Amino acid sequence: MKKNIIKRAFECYLSLSVLMLFAAVLIRIFETMVLASRHGDFFSQLLLNFYGLGFDILFFCKISLIFFPIYLLLHSISNKFASWFFRAFFTLVILSSLAMIMYFAIAGLALDNLFFDYSAKELLYVVNTSQTLKWWEFAGLFLIPILFFISSFKKFKFKNYSVIICLLLTVFSLFVNKIPDRLYDNQKQQQTIDNKYRCFLDSVKQAVSAEIRSKKINSKNQWLFHSKKIEFRNEVDKFHSYFPNINFVDNQYPFLHYDESPDVLSSFFNLKEDTMPNFVFVIVEGLGREVSGYNSAFPSATPYLDSLVSTGLSWSNCFSSSQRTICVLPTLFANLPFGNRGFTTYKNDYPDFNSLLTILHDNGYYSSFFYGGLLCFDDICYFLAENMIDNYLDISKYENSEMKNSWGLYDHCLFEESLKTIDFESHHTRVDVFMTLSTHDPFEYPDKDAYTQQYTQMLHDKNLQNSISQSQYKEYASYLYLDNSLRKLMSLYASKPDFDNTIFIITGDHCFNPVSTNINKYYVPLVIWSPMINTSQRFPAVVTHRDVTPSILAMLGSNFKFESPEEVAWINSGLDTSSVFRSTTFTPQLHTSRNLTNFIYHNYFIDDDEVYEFNYDDEVLTLKRTENEDVKELMRCYKDIDLYIMNNNAIIKKVFDTAD
């Protein structure tokens, strides 16, 4: 009797599983059509999805094997309930797979565990800002699951050889866990081939593992300093050994050290005596080397910014600390650790810290923060509150304005409206921070057609019109609009008092193309310009966002009566103004999934546990794979200490702390 029950259950389940394989074929056809219509190159998309279909079949075989015991259990209770439950379940799997494909087509990235980091309000905000679906995409999104559900009522009869083939595929699927490198050239191609559901589940698994690891580190007595456990001391000592030139203070605060950052900037400025300069930071959404600069991959869409480079200071090899906006403020202004998912995700539970903004505030600077979107998106409002910002502007004051897209104010409108809020006559010592939005997907901005036509001509002039999909022309052209808005901003400042005593720092929050390979996914411009600059120079040395704050504080401390903490927690010692290529910086970097997978340490770059060495030839930075267990050990060591610091409020000593 039990044998017959198992046989009937197996036959019903096999019918559903085979239908899932047919659905996998339809899903890949749908994905090919969607990607080709949005990004062009039909035959390339067809080939990648053909490879992907093979991995889909193996993935669904593995999923079917995992869920068969559950089906068998339910079948033993009620055949009807088991059938209905799994029909509905597999239908939802197909629907969500199609939704993930649409997300990938629009965002350019596979959906990952970041989905769970957003509140319901933020998710609705993101959905409202996304590109709209075409009618046939919307139809396919629901038609394929409906077809599967209707077909699932039909039972198939299988020959013995077909059953054997299915079983062999299932067994084979257990040994295939990775797509061979030879099938793709970059991350986007890899994610096109990969099953979007598998990508999502894998990222969730990594996030859960990181969370468990964080709790274990926080709970084990060996990590509590006052328990005097040798293992923690050894871990900190090991980390410190990688930085022999830094004079660390206290193992209870592993990053804390005496600030000995050299003043490398003063010689490039004619600073005014007894008058501290104003600072203006412009953080541009997605401004990467792909779209900007003399060495951009495509025609530079920022001619005005390029002109500032020719008369200012710039770094050819500057890198961000993350592939997402969430990390730019904590790293650019405070060199803060990431913790489990990024510093700002800790909201009201931040460890004590110092930042450039808090130190400037303590020295009498009036601070402003201007952002075209929602101030609390990605929890940045919590971080800004800790930085004692005096003046804010965000979309909340302009809900009825026509000068905005789905994300927020157009860049030129943000610049114009922001400067209206500053009393230039009363506040002579200021730090103004701008974060732009118009170069964010869905790339809606004023005069879009004119800018797109202009960039199209630039591509034709260099015979690069086939290098990117025509549908992407408007994305690259958005930086022409941004560049023109930046020109207007500088013109507005030029008409204000104290313009001749202002230093502008312009950079990107992350690179333009989130699926760029290895180190390219962190490339951003860094430009410092001021009427006070006495000589312009472009530096080839490797620097990161984390190098900016130490250099600004060192310059202020060398030239003015400026009070700054003697003990700081940023490992970096500042910008490298060497005239020859070298890399002496240190930067952990957060992946798009908010997992800590990348590192720069001196001349090495770690990408997903692979170590590369920098090679600089003819002004081009390339990577060469190498083996270096010491650098891997540093990465492992840093991750543990980073979590310890965030979980134990161990960035800086609190004011009331006393020496042990």
CATH label of the domain that carries residue 493: 3.40.720.10
Model confidence at 131: pLDDT above 90: no
Q: Same structural domain for residues 192 and 245?
A: no
Domain annotation covers residue 436: no
What's residue 660's pLDDT? Answer: 41
Q: In this structure, is residue 540 part of a structural domain?
A: no
Q: Determine, yes or no, domain membership for 383.
A: yes
Residue that terminates a domain, selected from 184, 207, 230: 207
Which uninterrupted H or E stretch holds 586? strand 586-590
The answer to whether residues 643 and 575 belong to one domain is: yes
Q: What pLDDT score was predicted for residue 230?
A: 55
- Do 162 and 274 share a domain, yes or no? no
The HSE-up count of residue 221 (CA atoms within 13 Å, CB side) is 3
pLDDT, tens digit, for every residue of 305-331? 999 999 999 999 999 998 888 889 999
Considering only CA atoms, which of 315, 281, 325 is closest in space to residue 549? 281
Residue 613 shares a structural domain with residue 475: yes
Q: Which residues constitute the domain of residue 271?
A: 238-430+445-529+560-647
Domain end marker among 154, 184, 207:
207
Residues 275 and 323 in one domain: yes
Q: How far apart are CA 330 and CA 508, in angstroms?
A: 14
- 167 & 271 share domain: no
Angstrom distance (rounded) from CA 300 to CA 309: 13
> 174 and 282 share a domain?
no
My answer on whether 270 and 333 are in the same domain is: yes
Q: What tens digit of pLDDT does each residue of 415-424 get?
A: 999 999 998 8
- Domains: count for the chain: 2
Could you report the per-residue pLDDT of 251-307, keeping only the tens digit for each? 889 999 999 999 999 999 999 988 999 999 999 999 988 889 888 888 999 999 999
Neighbours of 171 (CB within 10 A): 11
Concatenating the DSSP letter of every residue in 545-582 gives GGGHHHHHHHHHHHHS-----SEE----------SS--
pLDDT above 80 for 361: yes
Q: Which residues pair with 624 in a beta bridge?
A: 613
The predicted pLDDT at position 78 comes to 85
If asked whether residues 8 and 140 sit together in one domain, one would say yes
Percent of the chain with pLDDT over 70: 89
Q: 375 by DSSP, 3-state: which? A: coil
Domain presence at residue 94: yes
pLDDT of 451 above 90: yes
**Which residues fall within 8 angstroms of residue 17, CB to CB, at 6 or more apart?**
60, 61, 64, 166
Whole-prediction pTM value? 0.79
> Domain check: are 510 and 616 in the same one?
yes
532: its two tokens:
């006070």
> Are residues 260 and 385 located together in one domain of the fold?
yes
Of 651, 594, 601, 658, the C-alpha closest to 631 is 601
Q: Is residue 656 part of a domain?
A: no
**613 domain residue, yes or no:** yes
Say if 622 falls within a structural domain: yes
Task: Scan for tokens 């690069």, then name that residue.
Answer: 464
Output the pLDDT for position 187: 67
Q: At which of 167, 187, 207 does a domain end?
A: 207
Q: Look at residue 212 and tell me if it is in a domain.
A: no
502 shares a domain with 401: yes
